[in-house]
């Protein structure tokens, strides 16, 4: 496992590379982030950002989603893939947010993961970006890169990776750290051909040292 000094260097190196650690999904209302993350499953964030403006224009409130049919919502999100399942989740989620949470996105892991289509990754993103809580979003980029760096043991299990990161990444850094993992995974540390030669984290990266 990495020393505290190495972990700090990695965190600071990522900050220098990606000073604006922002979520790549665009949203204005809290529930719009929740819905956008659901749509992003097996779909690119870029595609979701193309679809959501029209979606939210057609269904501008939670009530509009709750009163819509699965077919109506599905038609609006068709290009995101798996639109039948995603449409059902959005409609049912809207109903639950209204009926059980007063129209508010809940602020606990337990309440969020009880919502249709919401797993720990989505819940962590919401907790971090909306509520500023310590959040460890273990998507494919985070899992791959933290394993290469040696911050984790190389596990591909999201929960295992999350537990390991909670031990070494300070809570105040966690949300932005995970956003930077996504940015780094797109810019330099790609799945198939990582650009180790131009990566400033190479000296602290287990994988990079072998290249």
Active-site positions read 121, 139
d(CA 191, CA 182): 12
| Structure token pair of residue 122 | 């989505």
In angstroms, the Cα distances linking 151 to 7, 10, 47, 145, 206 are 8, 10, 31, 9, 9
What is the DSSP annotation of 176-197?
HHHHHHHHHHHHT--SSS--GG
DSSP state of 59: S
């Amino acid at each position: 496992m990495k020393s505290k000094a190495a972990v700090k260097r990695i965190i600071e190196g990522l900050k220098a590379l990606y000073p604006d650690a922002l979520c790549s999904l665009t949203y204005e209302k809290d529930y719009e982030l929740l819905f956008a993350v659901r749509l992003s499953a097996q779909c690119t964030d870029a595609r979701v950002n193309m679809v959501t403006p029209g979606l939210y224009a057609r269904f501008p409130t939670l009530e509009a989603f709750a009163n819509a049919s699965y077919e109506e919502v599905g038609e609006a999100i068709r290009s995101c893939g798996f639109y039948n399942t995603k449409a059902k989740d959005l409609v049912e989620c809207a109903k639950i947010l209204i009926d059980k949470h007063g129209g508010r996105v809940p602020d606990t892991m337990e309440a969020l993961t009880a919502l249709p289509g919401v797993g720990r990754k989505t819940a962590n993103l919401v907790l971090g970006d909306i509520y500023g809580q310590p959040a460890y979003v273990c998507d494919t980029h985070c899992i791959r890169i933290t394993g290469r760096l040696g911050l984790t043991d190389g596990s591909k299990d999201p929960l295992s990776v999350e537990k390991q990161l909670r031990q070494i990444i300070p809570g105040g850094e966690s949300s932005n750290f995970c956003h930077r993992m996504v940015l780094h995974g797109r810019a330099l540390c790609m799945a198939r051909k990582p650009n180790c030669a131009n990566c400033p984290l190479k000296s602290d990266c287990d994988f990079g040292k072998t290249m």
